[in-house]
Amino acid sequence: MEWVNAIVQGVLLGGLYALFAAGLSLIFGVMRLVNIAHGDLIVLAAYLGLTTTIALGVHPLTSLMIAVPAMAAIGYVLQRGVLNRTLGDDILPPLLVTFGLSVIIQNGLLEIYTADSQKMNAGAIETASLEVTGGISLGVLPLIMFATAVAVIAGLQLVFYRTALGRAFRATSDNQDIAQLMGLNKAHVFGLAMALSLAVVGIAGVFLGIRTSFDPAIGPGRLIFGFEAVIIGGLGNLWGTLAGGIILGVSQNIGAQIHPGWQTLAGHLAFLFVLAVRPRGLFPRIEG
């Protein structure tokens, strides 16, 4: 029963990882950009949530209403101000600039919030749970997070394939020059893509801050989890990303069940295993 429980909890954890991954997957799909600072932006969102919660005295989940639009705005400005200038045939500039950004965010947070570990307190909802069958109970909070992750993925899917914005994303991704001829300003389109990506990061960050304790240094770890979920699921496939997140979460929980020190390691090994047997991921859609 312990094992079944570990797997079920792993599935729920996978929802959070899918949230880490969705934004990463989105901007790669639209502009082939890999944002090394993605994890640090998740942590930044967690601190934004924390500060909002403390300053306004609101529930952590309410802080989403500040954190999400704030992160989206940061994303748009960051893209138009800095990242657009790095895009081109050479992969080095965006990589190194976002790497520099990662170091800046980490140390900036360290200056403001110190290295002390923080956590947002969501109150009674944190301990509430639903008893399923003997021995297995589902926490209400992890369930809410998982449901949100599914809703976010479905929402992104809808935006991507059913709206004018999604059409602009796909057209710009296909051919930037011709998309410009259609009256689409690619700098603006890329800005919107990053805004959407960081809006999802906003949700992911606040959830992270409610679920576990966090400090300025944990960003790279979250980037890696998100990245692993993307690669396991297959590039360019949002539902695949959810599956990748779940596989990662389940692997980690199984690892932890075997030995407490193996949680993260088991996730990495699952990723390397998928890479070895299915280099393009389980459900690939676009070429890397």
Partner 1 sequence: MPDALLETRALNAFYGDFQALFDVSVTVAPGEVLAIIGANGAGKTTLMRSVAGLLTNAADMVAFKGRPIGSMRADQVAQLGIAMVPEGRQLFPSLSVEENLVIGGQVGRSGPWTLRAVYALFPVLEERRDMPPTTLSGGQQQMVAIGRALMANPEMLLFDEISLGLAPIVIKSIYDALPEIIREGTSAIIVEQDITKAIAVSDRVYCLQEGRIALESASADASRDAIARAYFGT
Partner 2 sequence: MSAADNHIVARASPASRIAAFIGVLLLIGLIAAPWWAGRADMRLISEICLYVALASLWNLLAGYAGLVSVGQQAFVGLGGYFLFAATIFFGVPPLAAIPLAAAAGAALAVPIAVLIFRLRGAYFAIGTWVVAEVFRLVFAQVSALGGGSGTSLPAGIVKGIAASRSLREAYTYWMALGLAVLVVAMVYMLLRSRRGLALTAIRDNELAATSLGIDIWRTKFFVYVISAALTASVGALIFLQKLRISPDAAFSVNDWTAFVIFIVVIGGIGTIEGPIIGTIIFFLLRETLADLGTTYLLVLGFVAIAVMLRAPKGLWGYVKDKTGVELFALTRRVVPKR
- Residue 256 interacts with partner 2 (CB under 8 A): yes or no: no
Residue closer to partner 1 (CB basis): 171 or 275: 171
Rounded to a whole number of angstroms, the minimum distance from the CB of residue 89 to partner 1 is: 14
Q: How far is the CB of 92 from partner 2 (least distance, A)?
A: 6
Residues 186-205 that bind partner 1 (CB under 8 A): 186
Residue in 171, 265, 275, 282 binding partner 1, rule: CB under 8 A: 171
When binding is defined by CB under 8 A, the residue of 69, 123, 135, 261 that contacts partner 2 is 261
Examine residue 163 and tell whether it contacts partner 1 (CB under 8 A).
Answer: no
Q: Shortest gap between Cβ of 23 and partner 2 (angstroms)?
A: 14
Per-residue 3-state assignment (H helix, E strand, C coil) for the chain: CHHHHHHHHHHHHHHHHHHHHHHHHHHHHHHCCCCCCHHHHHHHHHHHHHHHHHHHCCCCCCCHHHHHHHHHHHHHHHHHHCHHHHCCCCCHHHHHHHHHHHHHHHHHHHHHHCCCCECCCCHHHHCCEEECCCCCEEEHHHHHHHHHHHHHHHHHHHHHHHCHHHHHHHHHHHCHHHHHHCCCCHHHHHHHHHHHHHHHHHHHHHHHHHHCCECHHHHHHHHHHHHHHHHHHCCCCHHHHHHHHHHHHHHHHHHHHHCHHHHHHHHHHHHHHHHHHCCCCCCCCCCC
Question: Among 18, 22, 42, 231, which residue sits at the site for partner 2 (rule: CB under 8 A)?
Answer: 231
Among positions 175, 259, 269, 279, the unique one binding partner 1 when judged by CB under 8 A: 175
Of 116 and 177, the one with the shorter C-beta distance to partner 1 is 177
Write out the binding residues for partner 2, residues 126-145 only, by CB under 8 A: none
Q: 100 to 119, contacts with partner 2 by CB under 8 A?
A: 100-101, 103-104, 106-108, 110-111
